[in-house]
Each structure stands twice: as C-alpha cells, then as structure tokens.
Structure 1
Amino acid sequence: MSSAFGDFGPLTERRKAEKARQQKRRIMIAVGTVTIVAVLIVIGAAAIAYTGKSSSEGSHKPSKASPSKAKSGHSPSSDSESSDSSPSSDSSSSPSSSDDSKAPAAGGDLKAVSKSIKVMCSQTDYTDACEKSLGKAAAKNASAASPKDIVRTAVEVIGDAIGEAFGRADLILSNDPRVKAAVDDCKEIFGDAKDDLNRTVHGVDGGGFGKEDASYQLQIWLSAVIAHMETCIDGFPDDEFKAKVKDSFTSGKELTSNALALIEKGSSLLSVFKGSSKRRLLGNGGEEGSSSSGPKLDKDGIPVWVPEAERRVLKGGGFKNTLTPNVVVAKDGSGKFKTIGEALSAMPKVRKERYVIQVKEGVYEEYVTVTRAMANVTLLGEGSKKSIVTGKKSFADGVTTFKTATFTAQGDGFMAIGMGFQNTAGPEKHQAVALLVQSDKSIFLNCRMDAFQDTLYAHSKAQFYRNCVISGTVDFIFGDAAAVFQNCILVLRRPLDNQQNIATAQGRADAREATGFVFQKCEFQAETALRDAAKPPIRNYLGRPWRECSRILIMESEIPDFIDKAGYMPWQGDFGLKTLWYAEYANTGPGANTAGRVTWPGYKKVISKTDAAKFTVENFLHAQPWIDPTGTPVKYDLFT
C-alpha cells in the first residue's frame, strides 16, 4: 500500500534510491553527450547553408562565397532631388556551471579544431573568409576548440581587419578639406569600434555566448562596429578616396557579419541542447523566453546595478518631483553653471549614482557631447519648447554630417527628459543634424528634435523614444540603431522646391545586424508651410533604404493622406529593393491603405499580429531591465 510519506523511509532506503538516481543521471548525461556529437556531425556533413532569419523577420543574406556587393556610396548626405528613381550589459552574467558551451572531445588536436571551425563557419554568410581567418588563428592555438573559444576568436580577428582598414584611411593625404575632415572622423570612429569590439570579447568571456539576452547585447555591439565602419566611409566625398576606403573595409565587414551569425546560431543551438522551451526571438531567428541569463534582481525586482537615485523615480512619470539634480544649469546665472558643457566637464569621473543635470528654461547655443566615459547621465529640462540646445553646423559649410550634430550622446544609459534639440541651418544647407545618438540603452522622453535634412541621427545601439516630436524634411530620422519610437509625432516640413520629403532612412548594412526602426502608435503630421505648398507639389514618403538591408516597421500608427500612396521611394535604381525589409501593421488613417504601395520584393505590406509582436519594445529591444527602473512610461507589447 502506497503512503503519502513514502519518501521519508529509512536512511538506507533513501541512499539506495539516491544511488539509483545518480546512476540514471550518468546514463542520461552520456546519452546527451552522444546526441550532441551526433548533431554536430550531421550539421557538418550537411554543410547547412543557414538562411538566417525568415522573410517575416526582415533578413536577407548575400551570397556566401562572393565578397560583399558594392553598395551605393550615397548616404543621407545625399539630397532627394530627383523623382522616384532617385549601463551595464547582460554579458556580465557568469558562465553556466554546466559549461554547456564546450565542444565535445576537441582534445587540442588541430585536425579536430579545423573540423569544428568548418562546422561553425557553415552557418555564416562568408564561409571562405570565416574558415581562412579562424583557421589561421587555430594554427597558433589548437587548444581553443569549444564553440565559445571559436566565437571569441571570430570577434578578435575583426580587430586586425578593421585596424588595417582604419590605418589605410589615416594615411590618406589630400589638400581637400572634406577629405581631411573625413580622415579625422575615422580616427575618432576607430576608437569607438575598438571599444565595442573589446566589450564584445569581454561579453563572450563573461558567458554571453549561448545566453539569449546576453547574446542580443553582443549582437548590438557588433552591429555598432559595422555602423562605425560605414560612418568612416560616409565622410569621404564620392571620389577615388571613398572607393579605396570602402574596399579596405570589405574584410572587416564580412568578418563582423560572420561573428554575428555565429553568436546568433550559437544561441539557438545551445538552447536546443538545453532542451528549454522558448519563444521565437524577434527578427533574429533564434529563440526567446524567460532566461536565467538576465540581470540579478533585488527584492524589489530591480536590477542590482541600477543607481539609487534612479530607483526613486516613480513609474509612469513624475520625473521633476522624483529626480534630485546633481547640478543646475541656467542661462540667466541662477544655477551653478551657465552651459551644459560646463556641467558635464565638472561631473565626477567616479560615481555610483546617475548624474542628473537640471536644465532651466533657456536657449543654449552650444555644441555638446556626452562622451563614452560619461555613463548614466540625465538631462532634465523644463519642457521641449523651453529648455533648448541649438546649433547651426551643416554639410554645406564644409562639415561632415557626423560632425554637424548640435548634441551628441555617446555614454551608455543616457536619458533626456523634456529637452529640445535644434539645428537651425535651414533646408538650403542640406545635412544638418540636431541630435546624434550612439548611447546604448538610451531613453528620450517628452523631447523635441527640430531641423530639416538629417534631424535625428540614431546612429547605433539600442534606443527608446517616447512621446517625442521629430520634425524635418529629407531622411530626417536616419542611422543604424535598434530604435523604437512609441507615441511620437513625426512632422514633415517644407523642403526645397526640388526636394521630396522622406521621413526615414534606416541604415542596416548587413542582414545579421540586430537593428532597425520601429514606429509604434506614432502619428505623421504636415507642417502648415508644407500643407500650403500646392505649387510645386511636394511628395512625401515614409522611408527609403539608406543601406542594403534597411529595416523599418510602422505599426498601429496614424498615416494621413499627404503621404504618397507608394509609401516608399528608392534610394538609387534598384539598390536594396530585394534585401530591405519594410512592413506595416494595424495602421489607421487615409494613408494607411497599402493597395497602392510599392511592389518591391523586400516590402512585406501588412504583416500578421504574430510577426508584429516580434518588434515590440520587449522583444525587439529586450528593454524591460533598463526602462523599468527609470519610470519611463512604456507599452512593452502591442496596443491592439
């Protein structure tokens, strides 16, 4: 007769049972190991041509064996004058105690390492470059045979390739001031690229490989490395120098793409080995679900690394009443500093809490950079039309687009609340950036960005915009960030008579990048001057592909009738039309009808709710750990 207390039998019985369970566990581990070996053998034999993400997830991969196709040398620095033909990261998590990233029985043998490399490189888009670079490294260290070791090496070899490319750019000699300016930009950008590569290596070492959220962070950093390379190229005029610099970065971009593929594939493969049940990851082709790799939480459910000042922020707003400023900036002299730049310069280099700068009402004519060393800075304004930073640098005045920004945010965890950012150069000055953002896990709440061409340069990494107003004309939201714009208003202004308005120009250059622009619950509006421009008529578009794999989703938004029925316009010829990924979901308004939209292979028209859900704040940005502690109002899933 069975008893409810059967597990509490004599000690000897329990020991016997425990021995039996241990024996059973050993058998299961042995079977599991054999299974893993069998899986790897099958993968190697089949030489799987990994197709990356499905079309519904916005991925298209180039041919494996051939070098990168030459992409258009244009950037949002090109006018639209023709017709339609014209904080701490999750990577700091400790490695799994089971060490499931180790490859089976490599034994330090070079032949075994070569086989492992061949198997893993079969998952990349540039197989030859992968095998050659990793094989060369393996010849120096045959003991590094685990998937984790191979991924680490795949990231390290990028440094050599891009170091050589940036070095060549640095050696360019020219009397052309634009070329000189481009060379100077490349010197600065090389430092940014090295920093993001180092962070990626440390992330892999810290257990980032094979863990869902941490792997996403690695992908964000590597995507930024590609953005840095493209930015260096963009600065050069369309001449022989640009062609040479672009060619020199081919190897670096291919190796970065391969590293992205290995991290992406490694995450999903190890998830299968663990037997965990997970959801599909948005736009990355992996699996997502609740993972133990997330940040450690305290008793209040807040990540332990969040500064104390930020914990006091009330959810849903109330920022002015809950954030205590460290310093006050006031143009009238009533604060400690008269400029934002002075307040940043006085910021302690070592601090535990978020640095809050209160910016009193006033128009601040200054060019500000929150450097990479300045993490967790908050600008607390008194309103986007009251606390304003303004400048007027422009491409027409001989400045590279990258350096025209009035305000540049680089340090991780940057926040701006109730601030205005302007570039008043005017449409005749062409590219003139108001705000450039390279800050990872950055948040802009109740802010305003006003300019004409190239207003907001969402350059790279993860960014969130809530309740913001962004105005401009040509490509006025551009860059290669992973950015979600929620409850924002996009205002199209009157451009030059020979121009057309294009709201977005997203710059994802490689299908493996974890980047793209998502507009959720936004509204497109026309400035009065644009509405009154009956002659000549101004055509208005939602976007165009700046790079070959440009990715944009507009969902649950209001699209008015002044948006052209085609919706989107080409960049130049058929560039990117097959490899871009543009889609819409649950939009409203007279301009939301997709019947007259473009028929490009890359345009997906209206996607399903399941596919749209892959691009919410929660799924596309993995943002809850870094948005929640700030009290920023946010909708993590779909509104409809």
Structure 2
Amino acid sequence: MSASMKMITSICEGTSYKEMCARSLESAAKNSSATAKDYLLAAIHATVEEVKKGLEATGKVSVNKEADRSSHLAVEECKNFLDSALDSLNDTITSVMDSTTHTLEERAHELLSWVTAVHALHTTCLEFITNPEIKSAVENGINNATQLAHNAVNIIADLPEILSLFGLSNNDESSPSPSPSPSRRRLLLTDDGFPTWFSAADRKLLGKHNKGGGGSKGNKNKNNDHNGKDNTVYVANIANIKPNVVVAKDGSGNFKRISEAIAAYPANNNGRFIIYVKAGVYDEQVIIDKKKPNIFMYGDGIGKTIVTGNRIAGKNLDPSTTFSNEAFGFIARGMTFRNEAGPQGHRAVAFRSKGDKVALFDCSFEGNQDTFYYQVLRQFYRNCVIYGTIDFIFGKGDAVIQDSDIIVRKPMPNQFNTITADGKDIEKGSNGLVLHHCRIRPDNYLYPVRFDIKTYLGRPWSANALTVFMKCELADFIRPEGFRVWDNAQNHKTCQMFEFGNTGPGNKTDRRDSKNFSHWRVISPEEAAKYTPGQFIMGHDWLPQTGFPNRLGL
C-alpha cells in the first residue's frame, strides 16, 4: 500500500464504519504532506456535509400537523437537534484550526465532548419519533451522518495513537506531556467550590462557599427528606450584584415573566448577562436558545423563586420540559425548577440542558419520572436537590453532581424507582454521570413504605452507559442488587456501573447483581481517581498555571 493508504488504514482501525471512514479521509490522503491535523479536519468536514444533507432530508419529511401532532413536534425537535449538531461540529473545526499539531492532544477532551454530543443528538432525534414510517424516513436521511459522527468520536478518542503515527509521541520533547485518556470526563474545583474554568469575575459574582458546601450566610431552605438531620441549603448573599434585568411577579421589576427577560438579551452581547428573578411562582415554559450564551440567572432561593409547569411528553413543543437551556455558559443559583405533572404524567422533565460548560448551584429540581435531563455536553451541579421516581436523573451528556441531595419519591402503584439512567452511546465517547459526595434518601411519603417499593441506584439506558457513585451516602431503602436491567434490552451486559467509597446502610456491595451486570464493580482508588474532579479536566496539565489551589483527590 502507499503511505497515504497505510495512514488511512491505521486511523480507521479503531472506527466502527471503516469503509466510510476511508472515504472521509480521501481528501487528506491526496496531499502527500498532510498532517494529523489535516486528517482530523477531513473526518470532521465530511461529517458536517452529511449532517447538512441529513438536515435537508429531514426537512423534506412530510408530516400532517393536524392529524399527527406528536410526530410533527418530534420531527421539528429533530431538526433542532441536527442544527445543534452542526454548531458543535463547527466549534470543533474552529478549535482544530486554531491548534498547532502539538496542542491537539491538549484539546482532545474538549473536542471529544463536542463530537460525542453530535452523535448523541442524532440518536436522541430518532428516539423522539414513534411513527415507524416517519422514523424510517428520518433515519435513512441521517444514517451517513450518524455513522461518520460515530467514527469521529473514535478517531478523537484515539488521538494520542494517531499523533504517534506522525512521529508525535508523548516521548518527544515537542509533544504534550503525558495525560490521561481523553475519553474521561474532566472537572476540577477550586477551594471556593467552583469549576476552574470559571473566570475570577464569575467566582466573585457567585460568592464563596463555606467549608460545609452550603454557601455564605443567606436564605435557608430545608429539604423534604426523612433522615432526622437538618439538611439546610444556604443561598449565598448576592445583594451587591447589579443585574441587567429584574423579573418580578408583582410588577416591581423590568418584566413579570422570565421568558420576557430572556427575550431582552441584547444582540451581540459581550460578557455575562445577569437576570435576577425575585421570589414568586412563575408558571411558564422557559427556553434559553443557543444564541443567548453566558446568562447568569439567580433567584431568592430554593422554594422561593420557582419555575413550574405540568407538561407531559408529546403535548407541547419541546415536549415535556419546564425549563430548557441550549446555550453555552449558562449559570444559575438559588432557584427551583419544577414539573407538576405528577407520577401519572410519566415523562415530565423539570430541567433540561444541552449547553456546554453549564453550572448550577443551590438549586432544586422537582418532578417524578425524568425530572433532570443532562442532555449533552459538559455540566456541573453542586449543592443541589433533585427529586424523582423513575430514571429521574438521565441523559447523554458529561455530568457531575457533587455535594447534593438526591430525594426519591413514591411512584405510582406497581412501579419501581430508578435514580439514574445514563445513555452513553459510544464506548470511547465522553458521556457519563458521576455522583460525588451525594446523599440519597427517601422523601416523607416514600419513607413508611420504602421497603415495599423497589428502589435502585439506576439502570442503563444504553449499551455503553457509564454511571459512577463515589463517596455517596446511601440510605437503607436502596435495593441490595443495586441496579436494574433495562426491559427488553441487553444493556446490562456491556454497561459500566461503578462504586467507590460509599457509606450508609444501602451500601451493600457484597450483594450487588454482578451476574447480570458483569462490568459492575467496586473500583480501586487508582481507578476512582480517573473520575475525580482533577483528572476530569486534565487539571494536572494546566491547573498550576491558573494560580488556583489544587484539589485533585477523592
């Protein structure tokens, strides 16, 4: 084989759709002096072109809006997902173009997250469509794009090996220093409790947490759980912040509705756009679209500033969600997001996010089934409260929930509870869910019958689901087998369910269902370190340069 064909064969070796991979790299192979960067760009550009074709094909799918409203909404949502996928790919191209070959590996974790989101958006698009004929038409239109996105994830995940093909190994003085696999999610906190990718101004804006993780003194709100302890959540005193707009039900602000405040986001805004939502119950569906990045929204505290609704899947545009964020850099603090459809509402989301670098503090997410949807991309939640019944923490993003209370509610008769449902699609993708230093317990209504209703730590939404419970406190109602299989699927055979350092009477690891969940295990400290905040963002490579203290341990 020619040198270029050998290069294509080597790069495509780790992909699942090798013939399509080879065709996508042909443009780079024609250039005898092509670099690793050129091959990577060729793979991404090919994916972009197929996503555009998929978007065009989906637009041609005919759905009678009046006769089949559910399918019409699903197809419209599918178009939205594909459009978001294009944004992620364009961000990836820009990042690769701005990189030198030697800095590509340093950006690999970010590139992997973006491209993994592209594939996740494609698969989620199809999951929304229930009409077989319409689903088949959309699937045929986006099939090539889905496969190329799958290939791109594997190529970026194998970037260190690909760089070595070009003589750029980690042993070279000109190459990046050794780093963990880019397929691991990376998130690091500074000592004041915020991700290190927050600017100094953002950390000052949000206020500092005390050692108890509850924030500086301010409004108190007690969680509705049964454990005999005072689980008070403190909302930081942010009285000195000057918001851009104020929302107030009583008319004392600029607007009476949150949606109106978001609509006031100025064109070509630079910097943080701050929205203060005064105490009150705001019964409205809120959507922050992708063209409104860097919004900071804060309220008067959990149980005081409440965004609510009773939306059920299939009955509204963005079918079931009370509050949706699609923008980069969204931050919120001191708010309650609620879906009041009840357990009979089935899929009824209180909060959904598919924006990158999203962080929420001191917030409550209240619902039953599918309460909290970490849809795609990187997300961080600290000192929050999440309520629900079935699969109530679910998604395909890269989510870390830390120092939070997970409150399980009473489901409908003959139902069970599953706390998590991760949907990681690709083994080498960046998706996964980590619960770190969280407290898991029943609410007051479930408590008396907590042993009669089966409650599991989670179940795998997809074959490559990744869920990690680290140093969490598990109450006595957690089933000893720990996890439940997904009905009519074989996901339990390949998913990864890990535990480390958990405590409490529900921590019965000697009785976990390791027969069905063959990859479940209590991981070692060395392996657990891969899921700690420090390694999730390659903090050992760049954190010392930020000037912030290091907190990399378990």
TM-score range, shorter chain: 0.7 to 0.9
1:508-547 alignment, distance < 5 Å? 508-533=424-449, 537-547=452-462
Cα distance in 1 for residues equivalent to 2:478 and 2:527: 25
Secondary structure (helix, strand or coil) at the match of 1:603 reads coil
Question: Corresponding residue for 1:588?
Answer: 503
The answer on 1:181 being equivalent to 2:98 is no
Indicate how the Cα distance of structure 1 residues 463 and 142 shifts in structure 2: closer, same or farther if over 3 A, else same. same
Determine the C-alpha separation between the residues in 1 that align with 2:275 and 2:251: 15
Q: Deviations over 1:15-40 (max 9, x none)?
A: xxxxxxxxxxxxxxxxxxxxxxxxxx
Q: Give the 3 Å change call, closer, same or farther, for CA 312–567 of structure 1 in structure 2.
A: closer
What is the Cα deviation at residue 211 of structure 1?
3.4
> 1 CA distance for matches of 2:278 and 2:22?
57
Bigger Rg, which one: 1
Query: What SS class does the counterpart of residue 592 from structure 1 fall into?
Result: coil
Q: Percent same amino acid at aligned positions?
A: 33
Alpha-carbon distance in 2 for matches of 1:547, 1:336: 45
CA contact (8 A) 1:474 1:500 kept: yes
Amino acid at match of 2:253: G
| 2:268 corresponds to 1:350 | yes
Instruction: Give the direction of change, closer, same or farther, for the CA distance of 1:227–1:635 in structure 2 (3 Å limit).
Output: farther
Whether the aligned pair in 1 keeps the contact of 2:184 and 2:530 (CA below 8 Å) is no
Equivalent residues in 2 for 1:222-301, closer than 5 Å: 222-237=115-130, 239-246=132-139, 248-267=141-160, 269=164, 270-275=168-173, 278=177, 280-281=179-180, 284=183
**Does the 8 A contact of 2:184 with 2:430 survive in 1?**
no
Instruction: Specify which of 613, 627, 632 is matched with residue 529 of structure 2.
Output: 613
Give the whole-Å Cα distance in 1 for the aligned partners of 2:550 and 2:410: 32
Equivalent position of 2:351 in the other structure: 435
Q: Cα distance, 1:241 vs. partner? A: 3.1
Retained in 2: the 8 A contact 1:314–1:322? no
CA contact (8 A) 1:208 1:214 kept: no
Match of 1:341 in 2: 259
- Which deviations, in whole Å up to 9, do the C-alpha atoms of 1:556-599 show, x marking residues without a partner? 00111211111111112452223211100000011111122112
Alpha carbons 2:247, 2:253 under 8 Å: kept: yes
Q: Is the alpha carbon distance of 1:375 and 1:422 closer, same or farther for their aligned partners in structure 2, counting shifts above 3 Å? A: same
Partners of 1:280 and 1:589 lie apart in 2 by 35
Residue pairs, 1:544-623, within 5 angstroms: 544-599=459-514, 600=516, 602-621=518-537
Separation (CA, whole Å) in 1 of partners of 2:156 and 2:294: 28
After superposition, the Cα gap between the structure-2 partners of 1:485 and 1:227, relative to the gap in structure 1 and judged at 3 Å, is: same
- Matched residue SS, 2:510: coil
Q: In 2, distance between residues paired with 1:481 and 1:634?
A: 27
Partners of 1:260 and 1:549 in 2: CA distance: 14
Q: Is the 8 A contact 1:455 1:472 kept in 2?
A: yes
**Which ranges of structure 1 fall in alignment gaps of 5 or more residues?**
1-43, 45-110, 291-301
Aligned to 2:221: none
1:498 and 1:325 map into 2 onto residues whose CA distance is: 48
TM-score under structure 1 normalisation? 0.73
Instruction: Report the 3-state secondary structure (helix = DSSP H, G, I; strand = E; otherwise coil) of the residue aligned with 2:112.
Output: helix
Structure 1: distance between partners of 2:120 and 2:542: 23
Distance 1:394 1:570 in 2: 25
Output the CA distance in 2 between the equivalents of 1:464 and 1:226.
21
User: Any conservation in 2 of the 1:482–1:621 contact (CA below 8 Å)?
Assistant: no
Q: State the partner residue of 2:58.
A: 169
How big is each residue's C-alpha offset from its partner over 1:484-541, in whole Å with a ceiling of 9 and x where there is no partner? 1001111111111121111111111111211100000001111122123379x31111
1:505–1:545 CA contact under 8 A, matched in 2: yes
Amino acid at match of 1:579: T
TM-aligned CA distance change 1:376 to 1:622, over 3 Å: farther
Query: Is contact 1:283-1:615 (8 Å) kept?
Result: no
CA distance in 2 between partners of 1:183 and 1:634 (Å): 47
Render the CA deviation track for 1:333-387: whole Å, top value 9, x for unaligned. Answer: 1112111111111122233331111111101111111111111111111101100
- Correspondence 1:450 to 2:352: no
Between stretches 348-357 and 383-392, larger displacement belongs to: 348-357
Equivalence for 1:398: 315
Alignment-mate amino acid for residue 527 of structure 1? D
1:56-205 → structure 2 map (5 Å cutoff)? 111-135=2-26, 137-138=27-28, 142=31, 145-174=34-63, 175-205=67-97
Q: Tell me if structure 2 keeps the 8 A contact 1:283–1:614.
A: no
In 2 relative to 1, CA 324–514 (structure 1 residues): closer, same or farther, beyond 3 Å?
A: same
Cα distance, 1:432 vs. partner? Answer: 0.7
Q: Relative to structure 1, is the Cα distance of residues 285 and 138 closer, same or farther in structure 2, using a 3 angstrom cutoff?
A: same
Q: Which amino acid aligns with 2:245?
A: V
Secondary structure of 2:118 counterpart = helix
Query: For residue 329 of structure 1, what is the aligned residue in structure 2?
Result: 247
Q: Structure 2 unaligned runs (5+)? A: 189-195, 210-214, 216-235
Count of residues paired in the alignment: 509
Cα distance in 1, alignment partners of residues 481 and 376 from structure 2? 28
- Quote the offset at 1:271 in angstroms: 4.7
Q: CA RMSD in A?
A: 3.1
Instruction: Tell me the distance in 1 between the aligned counterparts of 2:447 and 2:353.
Output: 30
Paired with 1:625 and 1:463, the residues of 2 have a C-alpha distance of 21
Q: Show the counterpart of 1:481.
A: 397
Higher relative contact order (CA 8 A, sep 6+): 1
Q: Contact 1:170/1:186 (CA < 8 Å) preserved in 2?
A: no
Q: CA deviation at 1:170?
A: 3.0
Matches within 5 A, 1:20-35: none
Cα drift, residue 626 of structure 1: 12
Pair 1:386–1:622, CA change in 2 (3 A): farther
Which one is further off, 257-266 or 352-361? 257-266
Q: Which moved more, 1:600-609 or 1:153-162?
A: 600-609
Q: Structure 2 CA distance, aligned partners of 1:469 and 1:250?
A: 39
Secondary structure of the structure 2 residue equivalent to 1:272: coil
Q: Structure 1 118/627 Cα, relative in aligned 2: closer, same or farther at 3 Å?
A: closer
Tell me if the contact between 1:307 and 1:353 (Cα under 8 Å) persists in the aligned partners. Answer: no
